[in-house]
Structure 1
Amino acid sequence: MDGKGQPSNNPPPPPPGYSQPPPAYGHQQQTTVVMAGHPVMGHIFRETSVPMQCPYCRANITTSTSYETGTLTWIICGVLILFGLWLGCCLIPFCIDGCKDVIHTCPNCNQVVGKYNRM
């Protein structure tokens, strides 16, 4: 009832500390979504260091690079064996960084942030 003795169509407000009731059917409600965080940027990892923001410690860094034996290294080794260079020459690809995969790490937190596979 309103102040004039007439029934009211509006429901009473919720008590303090409670949220508003959901809207009645047929009413549209506009929703705003706020996304927090850092945008994800795609980095192209190659043989050289890459300036970027570390996804783990959020520091602005230039990646440290190291090399590890990958698929290309083993394929070159196998080809050298097929050509008869099995007396030690087939191990040369394991000594050349240009045949290995490149691992990019954060110099601040030492987490792997990327990898460049040669194959």
Structure 2
Amino acid sequence: MAAPPSAPPPSYEETTAINNSASYPYPYPAPGGPGTGPPMKGGQAPPYPTQPYPAQPVSTVPPPVTVQAVYVQSPLIFHDRPVQMCCPSCSKVVVTRLSHSAGALAWLSCGSLCLLGCWAGCCLIPFCVEALQDVEHYCPSCNALLGTYKRL
């Protein structure tokens, strides 16, 4: 038996659906410019603009930048000696003036001396010894209290 005559194979355009002479498919604009693409079904407007966007004004001057200097002073730790610092009240660089006052350590020393039998007046010695008292730091220019050092 003889084989039936066969049809020629399909062309490249038929198998790949690519036709170089056809316009771009929807939604891409045609290379001829906006508005020249394929007609839309049902009279709808195309989803892309048909006219180019209007030119936007371009500012070539950058906005001014405000620079503010911030001075950060590290926190000071006050001890029983004078400290050089910038006074926050008068803004001068000063060496602090010390003032001693009775604090918790002086009172505890007084009480312990009373318990040991030194209650006839010797128990008041801790109030005369600066090494047992709290220290207050003052500004010598404006007399502002700058900090304290508590022994206990």
Structure 2 unaligned spans of 5+: 1-52, 57-64
Give a deviation string over 1:58-89, Cα, whole Å, max 9, x none: 10111010101100000000000111110001
Find the residue that maps to 1:47 and give its secondary structure. coil
Q: TM-score, normalised by structure 2?
A: 0.55
Aligned pairs for 1:29-68 (under 5 A) are 37-68=70-101
Equivalent in the alignment of 2:129: 96
Q: TM-score, normalised by structure 1?
A: 0.69
Structure 1 unaligned spans of 5+: 1-6, 11-31
**What is the CA–CA distance in structure 1 between the aligned matches of 2:83 and 2:118, rounded to whole Å?**
37
Q: Which has the higher contact order (CA 8 A, sep 6+)?
A: 1
The percent of aligned pairs where both chains have the same amino acid is 42
In the TM superposition, structure 1's runs of 4+ consecutive aligned residues that sit over 3 Å from their partners are 32-38
The structural deviation recorded for 1:35 is 5.8
Equivalent residue pairs, number: 98
Whichever of the two has the greater Rg, that structure is: 2
Question: Alignment RMSD, CA only?
Answer: 2.7
Aligned pairs for 1:13-32 (under 5 A) are none
Find the residue that maps to 1:49 and give its secondary structure. coil
Q: Which of 100, 109, 119 does residue 76 from structure 1 map onto?
A: 109
